[in-house]
Amino acid sequence: MSHAGARLVADLANAIGLEQVLSTALAPMRRRDGGHDPGWVAVDVAVMLADGGEAISDLAVPRDKPELFGAVASPATAWRVLDGIDAAALERIRAARAQAREVAWGGEPHSSARTTRSSS
């Protein structure tokens, strides 16, 4: 099965700076410097859903394709991020989405959008 469309969704999230603004919005949730960034995990979940995933365990599809998607969080990591989203985090996520949406609808490309995701 092809996941080229899912790669395009991930590329769009990167191009409009969604990963970066979600990373900033969810920074208070970050437990350690290593590991997966909660903002990137949120984008992983969104890409998985856009690709037809229905459960956190469906992250196995992009996770099994590191050459296409880079390092994708495990279902356990995704669960911790989703479980940690409280009302304050949800408001920060809404603000982050609004920033990215503004870029998508004709604003300037996000200057700190990352270009690649490490697969290690």
Tell me the domain boundaries of the chain.
Answer: 4-104
- In the predicted model, is pLDDT for residue 78 greater than 60? yes
pLDDT score recorded for residue 81: 93
Which conformational region is residue 104 in: left (phi greater than 0), alpha (psi within -120 to 50 degrees), or beta?
Answer: alpha
Q: Residue written as tokens 């999230």?
A: 13
Distances (CA, A) of 52 to 13, 32, 46, 106: 17, 31, 10, 28
Q: What is the pLDDT of residues 26-64, one digit of tens each?
A: 999 887 666 789 999 999 999 999 999 999 999 999 999
Largest CA distance in the chain: 38
pLDDT score recorded for residue 36: 86
Neighbours of 67 (CB within 10 A): 6
Mean pLDDT of all residues belonging to the chain: 86
Torsion, CA 106, CA 6, CA 113, CA 33, rounded to 10: 150
Closest by CA position to 12, among listed 105, 104, 98, 118: 104
What is the model's pTM?
Answer: 0.81
Q: Residue written as tokens 């996770």?
A: 63
